[in-house]
Amino acid sequence: MSAPTAYAQRAIVDGGGTDAAVADASLQSPHENAEHTDESVASRVLGNPDDDLPDPVAEDGERSGTLEGEAIPETPMTAHEIAALSDAQCLRVLRRAEVPFELSDRQWRGISQPIWITGPIGGVTYRGSGHPRVRELVDCRLAVALVRFSRLLRAVHVHTLIHLSTYRAPTESEAQRRPVQTRHPGGMAIDAGSFVLDDGRTFSVLADFHGRMRRPVCGPMAHVPRDEGARLLRTIACDSARRGIFHVVLTPNFNRPHRNHFHLEITRGVQWQYVH
């Protein structure tokens, strides 16, 4: 008997209907098997809308004996699955999520699958500071992460994220040494500077985060200022980390260069999460 297909192997691992899964897989064409696999990947990566809703921040923490909230998981499973997408899978996930985007007509140094975001993602507009037009160059995988991030932002009434940077091109020599880059040179990070709410108010990381250098940002040892903007920004940073949407979440508590933004990053080939 030949080895079961990838679709059947997934059913075996999940523990559901092993014999039936193998039998079903044997009756399907390779094209049908590929469609089932793609559908499974997209469903897992996009998750359910409720998966990405934020937790209450300070009040519940104070009642339970913690000031900010629960500890951050060591492994961000959502980010890990997003980073593992192939270029083709990633584009199919974006289309399924109805993300407005265009394929780049050229290859950008350092980016595996460059795309242009051309409109709001899940009701949230992502645009550069001073640039009212939405046309953001990123790797496809970061755009998928923003699908998940947008659910959290909409839950706290954010409709626009104004960023300081997404893609920053590597030098030619850097790209020659490593054709697919990480962080901003790979289009895999966004520096979120401020958040605009439905009621018109804007909270900026620089003015409203009120952090303290090298102090814990999230979890039972972190303190949250009572200022409304600080609490909102802490919810955005910490609950995106709890939901495992990004591998890296850096805030003003990390160092002075991050005093005016959150650095949010997807990283290939790692199992860890770093939040500070």
- Residues of the chain by 3-state class (helix, strand, coil), percent to 5: 40, 15, 40
| Strand order across the 136-139 sheet | 101-103, 114-117, 136-139
pLDDT value of position 40 = 82
Give me the amino acid identity at 114.
P
How does pLDDT run across 153-186, given as a tens digit for each residue?
A: 999 999 999 999 999 999 999 999 999 999 999 9
CA distance linking residue 129 with residue 192, whole number of Å: 10
> Is pLDDT of 42 > 80?
yes
Structure tokens at 79: 């980010």
Which residue has better confidence, 163 or 69? 163
Which residue has better confidence, 171 or 11? 171
